[in-house]
Amino acid sequence: MYDVAIIGAGVTGCSIARELSRYNLKTILIEKDNDVANGTTKANSAIIHAGYDPVPGTLKAKLNVAGNAMFDKITEELDVPFKRVGTLVVAFCEEEMEEVRRLYEQGVDYNVPDIQVLDKEALLEMEPNLSDEVVGALYAPSGGIIGPWELAIALAENAVDNGVELKLNAEVKDIKKLDEGYEIVTASGNVKTKYVINAAGLYSDKIHNMVSTPTFEIIPTRGEYHLFDKSEGDKVSRVIFQAPSKISKGVVVLPTIHGNLLVGPNAEAIEDRQGIETTREALDFVAKQGSKSVKELNFGNVITSFAGLRSKTPENDFIIEESADAKNFINVAAIDSPGLSAAPAIAEYTVEILKELMGELEENKDFNPIRRPHINFIELSDEEKAELIKKDPRYGRVICRCESITEGEIVDIIHRSVGATTVDGIKRRARAGMGRCQGGFCAPRVMEIIARELNKDITEVVKDRNGSYILTGPTKEN
């Protein structure tokens, strides 16, 4: 019997798993997909919000600022790319400046560090490519950008290295209440556990309803984006929000952690929990709104578009508590924005709830917070590169030409404790296929490497989710 079973390996579940690996507990992380970070965690704005805007008294307000402050340490320990580039909330008229000043006062109340209100001149000095129509902004230097799936993968890897079991391809179909604990029925075998943590994102209400009468309903709310080539990456140096109006929170323009430019999202409530297709209408809206903030965005340099789904509820706050009628079953649900920014604080908060239920937990004396760093070949000095190639010639073979990713890096990420098994798994961990050609050149080579390293037939290699085959069979006989 496990002590704790966490359902859902997005950034929430992975953060909780890592936090629990600090203690002597038998913990399992259960995920329906074939990889971690395959839900909302893989498609969002990737901003570590400073935390001035959640409504007072909410969990969002409490956990955003606290989570933000934890990112320097956590990203250093886990070798995850993170930059405090700062965020700007830009106003285009005096009415919006009032909102900027309100957010400033709120940020001061929440102890957001070093925030300030900028006038037009100071703002344009910082960001010369902003529209001439801007009148001022709120500046929060503690806001940052991150690789969201890189964070979740690193958290999962560190959790597994510290003793957590990861069960992939294990969709939870049902949960039975036992005299003590629960039996979780999954697509790949049952799991008995004393405590359950429901971190199933868009499906967290469905998971909750397996043990309890319904108390909340997730409304998937889609946001769509344009991702630009690195040639546009220096259009802005900081995250550019628009002052929120009564109708919209505005579209964001920001540099990504790997030097691209991202413009989005819109917000559209939909019914389909898997509805991550993009639409012409939303992408046009996003382009128009983004161009309001930043001059001369060249949409000819968009390399891909994508959509993500927020797990919203009408109450617009995180739900982190023991279920009222299911003892020892803790919901960590409705984790929409700023869920990424709050993730480390959500994990600590959840473990505090567990401690109240379980009593003081015994520390795992062997807990190692440090994850073995990735070798980023392109960033090595010429001497280091030559030395590495001498030791392992696979670092001398460039597979992804856009991002300069070598075979050595790809092989390393396949054989890590939460290793990549799919083409997109490689893309998310090593960036092969993230560049301008979007995998047009390197995907066949990546597939060959996956097949060879995992001892599979190449036709079995999938793009992303189970069943997303790329090859179906030979087009001609030899």
Ligand X SMILES: Cc1cc2nc3c(=O)[nH]c(=O)nc-3n(C[C@H](O)[C@H](O)[C@H](O)COP(=O)(O)OP(=O)(O)OC[C@H]3O[C@@H](n4cnc5c(N)ncnc54)[C@H](O)[C@@H]3O)c2cc1C
Burial degree of 138 (CB within 10 A; 0-12, 13-18, 19+): buried
Give the C-alpha separation, 237 to 130, whole Å.
11
Based on the shown chain and the rule CB under 6 A, indicate whether residue 59 belongs to the binding site for ligand X. no
Give me the helices (H) in 415-457, please: 423-430, 443-453
The reply to whether 374 belongs to the active site is no
Based on the shown chain and the rule CB under 6 A, indicate whether residue 51 belongs to the binding site for ligand X. no
Based on the shown chain and the rule CB under 6 A, indicate whether residue 340 belongs to the binding site for ligand X. yes
Based on the shown chain and the rule CB under 6 A, indicate whether residue 75 belongs to the binding site for ligand X. no
Q: How many helices (H) and strands (E) does the chain have?
A: 13, 22
Which residue in the set 21, 27, 41, 242 belongs to the binding site for ligand X (CB under 6 A)?
41
| CB closer to ligand X out of 309 and 405 | 309
- Residues 247, 96: contact at Cβ < 8 Å? no
Based on the shown chain and the rule CB under 6 A, indicate whether residue 112 belongs to the binding site for ligand X. no
The helix (run of H) or strand (run of E) holding residue 164 is none
| CB closer to ligand X out of 64 and 301 | 64
Which residue in the set 79, 165, 171, 448 belongs to the binding site for ligand X (CB under 6 A)?
171
Which residue in the set 4, 5, 6, 9 belongs to the binding site for ligand X (CB under 6 A)?
9
Which residue in the set 310, 312, 427, 429 belongs to the binding site for ligand X (CB under 6 A)?
310
From the list 277, 267, 265, the residue with the least C-alpha distance to 312 is 267
Burial degree of 101 (CB within 10 A; 0-12, 13-18, 19+): middle
Based on the shown chain and the rule CB under 6 A, indicate whether residue 5 belongs to the binding site for ligand X. no
User: Of the listed pieces 308-316, 378-386, 405-413, 441-449, which binds ligand X according to CB under 6 A?
Assistant: 308-316
Based on the shown chain and the rule CB under 6 A, indicate whether residue 256 belongs to the binding site for ligand X. no
Instruction: Mark residues 209-248: x for contact with ligand X by CB under 6 A, - for none.
Output: --------------x-------------------------
Give the C-alpha separation, 126 to 31, whole Å.
43
- Residues 134, 86: contact at Cβ < 8 Å? no
Site for ligand X in 311-330 (CB under 6 A): none
- Residues 106, 65: contact at Cβ < 8 Å? no
Sign of the alpha-carbon dihedral angle for 155, 156, 157, 158:
positive
Q: Which amino acid is at 7?
A: I
Based on the shown chain and the rule CB under 6 A, indicate whether residue 419 belongs to the binding site for ligand X. no
Which residue in the set 261, 335, 426, 432 belongs to the binding site for ligand X (CB under 6 A)?
335
| CB closer to ligand X out of 39 and 290 | 39
| CB closer to ligand X out of 20 and 47 | 47
Angle at 83 between CA 79 and CA 85, to 5 degrees: 180
Based on the shown chain and the rule CB under 6 A, indicate whether residue 282 belongs to the binding site for ligand X. no
Classify 28 as helix, strand or coil: strand
Which residue in the set 46, 97, 166, 400 belongs to the binding site for ligand X (CB under 6 A)?
46
Give the C-alpha separation, 165 to 27, whole Å.
6
Annotated catalytic sites, by residue?
A: 49
Give the binding site for ligand X (CB under 6 A): 7-13, 30-33, 38-41, 44-47, 49, 171-172, 199-203, 207, 223, 265, 308-310, 335-341
